[in-house]
């Protein structure tokens, strides 16, 4: 898995589905997005914008995703994504 500076939406979407998250599309006020939710983890809903797969994930979206994954022990310390510093 690439580090947080080069992570694309395609890679993030795949990582989430590999971790057992279910994915579905949503539209609100004409804007499309993707929602990921783990069926076995309460409060695990992740909402991301609809982006092309090769676009890099913006830190604004990545940091909360990583925080939720860490909180539920879904992101091992050995994963390069675990080195992403929090937003300030």
Looking at residue 71, its pLDDT comes to 86
CATH code for the domain defined by 9-75: 3.30.920.30
pLDDT tens-digit series, residues 12-66: 999 999 999 999 999 988 889 999 999 999 888 999 999 888 999 999 999 899 8
* pTM, two decimal places: 0.79
Beta bridge partners of 33: 26, 49
**How many beta carbons lie within 10 A of that of residue 5, not counting itself?**
12
Q: Which tokens go with 81?
A: 């994504």
Residue boundaries of the structural domains of the chain: 9-75
Q: Are 51 and 8 in contact (CB under 8 A)?
A: no
What is the rounded CA–CA span in Å between residue 58 and residue 47?
13
């Amino acid at each position: 898995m690439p580090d947080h500076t080069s992570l694309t939406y395609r890679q993030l979407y795949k990582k989430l589905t590999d971790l057992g998250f279910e994915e579905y599309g949503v539209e609100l006020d004409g804007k499309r997005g993707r929602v990921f939710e783990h069926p076995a983890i309460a409060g695990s809903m992740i909402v991301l914008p609809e982006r092309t797969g090769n676009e890099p994930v913006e830190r604004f979206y990545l940091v909360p995703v990583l925080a939720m994954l860490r909180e539920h022990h879904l992101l091992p310390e050995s994963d390069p994504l675990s080195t992403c510093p929090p937003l300030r």
